[in-house]
Chains A and B, each alone.
Chain A
Amino acid sequence: MPAARAWSPPPLIANPWLRWGAYGAVVLYLVLALGSIEVNWARVVAGLERGWAFVGAFLRPDFAARWPEIVDGMRESLTMTVTATVAGVTLSVPIGLGAARNIAHPAVYLACRALIAVSRSFQEVIIAILFVAMVGFGPFAGFLTISVATIGFLSKLLAEDIEDADPGQLEAVRATGCGWWQWIVYGVQPQVMPRLIGLCLYRLDINFRESAVVGIVGAGGIGATLNTAIDRYEFDVAAAILLIVIAIVMVAEYSSSRLRKWVQ
């Protein structure tokens, strides 16, 4: 027996074989993955100068040079955000009700869940590409894209919220002999409403951020202006646009968190 024994925290994985095997697998993966990166250092060195130009541009952004284009893009982005959020929320409430296991018929449940899974697994930009191919360039394609993305997000969270609702209250309302619709309005709605409002506001934030991206593939909004600015290496204009986006996101985030506190 040694005189002094030191305590050491228990390892995360108790079995030493499994532990060292896991470490080995991680190291092997890192070696393989890092080895697969091909870096053209000459290009990077040449680009660093441009990188510094970009960092410098953030310190003196140029709002004036492309102001009309920025205003146009921002108007498209903001209106797209509002309409798409409203449309998305309106559509995701019925889908969310259908996707809740405790209130929907099993067939409806499966159909709604499948719809949610498909709309969630594709990135907004991929959906935007398909919509641009269908309805042409412009903010209407962006509106459709963001609505679809909102449905995937909101109806999933709404459905999970309904599934977590207190079954006692649901049963109590049902015991009064009410119909299905009254059951939803008086049994389910009061339980999920505060969180639903919070989620809608949160989604409004996300939608604005997304509206800045879908323009890169032609679906309208500030993204198109930004893409053009970067393609022309007008970093000072790009920096101005990014700063405006950051400012709007900050304002939106702050006011939505205030509103959420007020609602709950």
Chain B
Amino acid sequence: MPLALEYDRHVWRKRAPRARLALWFGWLALAALTAWSWQVMTQDTIWSFVADAPRQARDIGARMVPPRWEYAARLWHPLWDTINIATLGTLLAIVFAVPVAFLAARNTTPSLALARPVALFVIVASRSINSLIWALLLVSILGPGLLAGIIAIALRSIGFIAKLLYEAMEEIDEHQVEAVAATGAGGAQVLAYGIVPQVMPAFAGISIFRWDINIRESTILGLVGAGGIGLQLEASLNVLAWNQVSLILLLIFGTVVASEWVSARVRRAIT
């Protein structure tokens, strides 16, 4: 612990002088970067619009209440579609993510030099691109509809599930694998009895977690034409029917809270 001499007394300081100086420079650099970014970002901002925002917010808020409750009758089917997009997309993602995770994990990959980098690239590429961008592409390829939404959700989820799964697989207890191998088990048997049981709880938790995220993501895919409740949101926004927008937002909020509750319960039960 560094002690500083101050007014003839030893005072405790958390850091040595050099570390304090470095820390201050770090903060200074961060502040400078932020200020510069702010300058560049706001050079085209029209501040009168920003100053007007509270009035706009009040105006939109006033138009949002009361929500147009009758409109709910036309939302149940899109909501069902939304949940299907999320669920089927997650299932499709699992089908592809499991083999990718096996290729990516250091202890199960068939080849460290070839298969692992390819699998890691698939994971990064899938994770870097948001499902809305995938949906944008797929709608222009497959045409609008649920199918584009499902595939978009799946493409984004493959990276997420595979990444968390392969990290879980790299952390397994090697003794169990060795014990199963010592009984004379073949490669597939080692996999089934040595590795799979160890990662099963993590796998179930990851899948449910991703499903929960996907429910939230699938609510907006309709904005680019990929089906679900986002289509209704887009339609209501286009005609500035803010009382329908508020009803849709309430419904989305309810669905997301419910799915989060389900996911938290299931994850607590299995881990």
On A, residues with C-beta under 8 Å from B are 29, 33-34, 36-40, 43-44, 47-48, 50-51, 54, 75-76, 78-80, 82-83, 86, 117-118, 121-123, 125-126, 129-130, 133-136, 138-140, 143, 209-210, 212-213, 216-217, 223, 226-227, 230-231, 233, 238, 242, 245-246, 249-250, 253
Contacts and interface: CB of A to CB of B under 8 A. Distances in A.
A56 to B, nearest CB: 13
B145 A40 contact: yes
A82 B40 CA distance: 11
Contact of B140 (A36, A75, A230, A246): A230
A123 B44 contact: no
6 contacts: A39-B147, A79-B38, A133-B56, A136-B49, A217-B223, A245-B129
Contacts of A126: 219-220, 233, 249, 252
B84 A138 contact: no
A143 B38 CA distance: 10
A34 to B, nearest CB: 7
A135 B249 contact: no
Contact of B256 (A121, A135, A210): A121
A246 B38 contact: no
Interface string B192-236: 000000000000000000000000110110011000000001000
A249 B128 contact: yes
Contacts of B216: 121-123
A121 B253 contact: yes
B237 interface: yes
A136 B133 contact: no
Interface size class on chain B is 35 or more
Contact of B141 (A34, A51, A130): A51
B183 interface: no
B40 A54 contact: no
Given A48-B141, A129-B237, 7 more contacts: A82-B34, A83-B34, A121-B216, A122-B256, A133-B56, A135-B49, A216-B223
Contacts of B179: none
A236 B72 CA distance: 42
B152 to A, nearest CB: 12
A233 B136 CA distance: 11
Contact of A134 (B53, B224, B256): B53
Nearest to B140: A230
A179 to B, nearest CB: 18
B143 A43 contact: yes
A126 to B, nearest CB: 6
Contacts of B140: 47, 50, 230-231, 233
B41 interface: yes
B156 to A, nearest CB: 10
B145 A39 contact: yes
A33 B145 CA distance: 14
A51 B41 CA distance: 35
Contacts of A138: 44-46
B45 A216 contact: no
A43 B219 CA distance: 24
Identify which of A39, A135, A227, A253 gathers the most chain B CB atoms within 10 Å of its CB.
A135
Contact of B217 (A83, A121, A123): A123
Nearest to B124: A250
A135 B125 CA distance: 33
Contact of A86 (B34, B45, B80): B34
B133 A212 contact: yes
Interface string B32-70: 011001101110111001101100110010000000000
A45 B126 CA distance: 24
B45 A44 contact: no
A213 B60 contact: no
Contact of B142 (A33, A47, A143, A245): A47
B88 interface: yes
Nearest to A44: B142
B37 A82 contact: yes
B146 A216 contact: no
A136 B49 CA distance: 6
Contact of A33 (B88, B217, B256, B260): B88
Interface string B233-271: 100010000000000010011001100100000000000
Nearest to B45: A140
Given A123-B219, A230-B140, A253-B124, A83 B38 contact: yes
Contacts of B176: none
B253 A122 contact: yes
Contact of A54 (B60, B141, B253): B141
Contacts of B112: none
Contacts of B95: none
Contacts of B57: 134
Nearest to B87: A33
B3 interface: no
